[in-house]
Amino acid sequence: MSRLGAYRNEIRWTLVVLVFAVLGVVALWPRSPEPGSEGTAPPPQQASQPVSQAQRDAAALADCSPAPQPAAGLEGVTATCLATGEPVDLGKAVAGEPTLVNVWATWCAPCRAELPALQAYSEQPDAIRVVGVQVESGEADGLDLLTELGVHYPNVYDPAGRSRTALPGPNVLPVSYVVTTSGQVRPIEPPTVFTSPEEVRQAVQRTLEPR
């Protein structure tokens, strides 16, 4: 082989090595999330951080006062009252009077956006009771978020997600329900991300109408 041919062959192999090196770097490069994916799927589960009494005091949440008879379908579903850290029967915590139940998670952007609207509604004189159910996210993170947003209505923590299995309706977040005085659980349809207390009021009135 001539010296020129050997030189060309050497350049060819050098280029092949460089191409494979570039492909290797691209394959290992971290991917960015798909556009619009934030708030639509839970992140990988992480170990729950311990919760201090100071965090509970800072959140200033109302207690989860149980009713004598549980709401239909939620009997025996145990959660943690975020105000006290004590176990509570979710079926009894949302029964006894008309109650708006909102299921949420800290990673869910629409959930975070509507929590202030739910708090504002809960403060209205004609509002029914509001109870939040935190799922698929850490208890300490949930308390910190509620403190940050100034949300004080009762909230329970359901790390196992048993409430989502027991409640009717679509498997989406956020999702809200109205529990009637008789204990019937009705999903708010269509699923709504509330932006104002008036939207909450209209959805509650519509869902409570006789059927």
Task: Give pLDDT tens digits for 81-93.
Answer: 999 999 999 998 8
29 compared with 92, residue with greater pLDDT: 92
Q: Give me the chain's average pLDDT, please.
A: 82
Task: Quote the tokens at residue 133.
Answer: 């159910």
Confidence of residue 43 (pLDDT cuts 50, 70, 90): low
pLDDT at 28: 38
84 compared with 20, residue with greater pLDDT: 84
Cα of 49 vs its chain's centroid, Å? 17
| Closest among 130, 207, 196 to 168, alpha carbons compared | 207
Residue 65, pLDDT above cutoff 70: no
210 compared with 40, residue with greater pLDDT: 210
Domains of the chain: 54-208 (3.40.30.10)
pLDDT at 208: 94
H helix or E strand, kind and range, residue 30: none
| Closest among 90, 87, 89 to 102, alpha carbons compared | 90
Q: Tell me which amino acid residue 10 is.
A: E
Confidence of residue 33 (pLDDT cuts 50, 70, 90): very low
Distance (Å, rounded) from C-alpha 153 to C-alpha 100?
11
Confidence of residue 37 (pLDDT cuts 50, 70, 90): very low
Distance (Å, rounded) from C-alpha 143 to C-alpha 101?
17
pLDDT at 23: 44
pLDDT digits (tens, 9 = 90+) for 192-204: 899 999 999 999 9
Task: Quote the tokens at residue 176.
Answer: 């809200």
Task: Quote the tokens at residue 32.
Answer: 């960015």
> Which residues of 83-168 form beta strands (DSSP E)?
87-89, 99-104, 129-134, 155-157
pTM above 0.75, yes or no: no
